[in-house]
A and B are shown apart, each in its own frame.
Chain A
Amino acid sequence: DQQVKQNSPSLSVQEGRISILNCDYTNSMFDYFLWYKKYPAEGPTFLISISSIKDKNEDGRFTVFLNKSAKHLSLHIVPSQPGDSAVYFCAAREYNFNKFYFGSGTKLNVKP
């Protein structure tokens, strides 16, 4: 039973354009959402997060949007750079139990 889903296994974008990575969740008890970036042979690296009381959080080129009614999360990267090529995981925390659930990841390829 996957409570966090990333339905696009891969995404290819031209350098300089916007990358939009999507994530859907099912559990209304999630109170905190995160995006991680992962390069091969390394552990995931925290990118950006958002609390369930907000609908947008921005950090430089990265913006996360949260639509609670749709149970949908997205990460926008503008402008995309070749160094952004990696696997991106979205994650959610179930507050009462402090458990974290991860999506299966989206592999982003930014073409020069």
Chain B
Amino acid sequence: DSGVTQTPKHLITATGQRVTLRCSPRSGDLSVYWYQQSLDQGLQFLIQYYNGEERAKGNILERFSAQQFPDLHSELNLSSLELGDSALYFCASSAQRLAGGTDTQYFGPGTRLTVL
């Protein structure tokens, strides 16, 4: 158990809909990262938040957005869903005390999103 929780575990929805994925980081971790893993592919970095502020942005679509709340949990919002958005979405957290520090990222179990 990494200490990172993600809800829901599974999500099935239709094209055009909007969903929200939730992540609670490990106690004390200030950084949250979101990744997408499509079928048989590696993890694609989407976005990172540090203590409520956006820190880094990867290949995140404009239809997707994220935020980190004062209690440090984070939400990833996916809207106007398309079939190709079906994937595993992972959240990871790290302490990230120093910019560029070598903190380990601890991953949650993921949310499997299926768009029909």
Decide: A102 and B44 in contact? CB cutoff 8 A. Answer: yes
Q: Which of A11-19, A38-46, A59-67, A75-83 participates in binding chain B?
A: A38-46
Task: Determine the distance from Cα of A4 to Cα of B45 in the docked complex, in whole angstroms.
Answer: 12
Known contacts A31-B100, A100-B33, A44 near B45 by CB under 8 Å: no
For residue B32, CB closer than 8 A to chain A, the reply is: no
User: Closest residue of chain A to B9, judged by CB?
Assistant: A41
Decide: B42 and A105 in contact? CB cutoff 8 A. Answer: yes
Q: For residue A41, which residues in chain B have a CB less than 8 angstroms away from its CB? A: 109
From A49, A51, A98, A105, residue with most partner B Cβ within 10 Å: A98
Known contacts A45-B107, A95-B100, A4 near B42 by CB under 8 Å: yes
Give the residues from 49 to 67 in chain B that come closer than 8 angstroms, CB to CB, to chain A.
55-58
Q: For residue A34, which residues in chain B have a CB less than 8 angstroms away from its CB? A: 105
For residue B40, CB closer than 8 A to chain A, the reply is: yes
Task: Determine the distance from Cα of A105 to Cα of B45 in the docked complex, in whole angstroms.
Answer: 15
Task: Determine the distance from Cα of A51 to Cα of B100 in the docked complex, in whole angstroms.
Answer: 11
User: Closest residue of chain A to B4, judged by CB?
Assistant: A43
Q: Which residues of A contact B (CB under 8 A)?
A: 2, 4, 6, 31-32, 34, 36, 41-46, 49, 51, 89, 91, 95, 97-105
Q: Which residues of B contact A (CB under 8 A)?
A: 2, 4, 33, 35, 40-45, 48, 55-58, 90, 92, 99-100, 102, 104-110
17 contacts between A and B (CB under 8 A): A2-B42, A4-B42, A6-B42, A36-B107, A43-B2, A43-B109, A44-B43, A44-B107, A95-B100, A97-B56, A98-B48, A99-B45, A99-B48, A99-B56, A102-B35, A102-B43, A104-B40
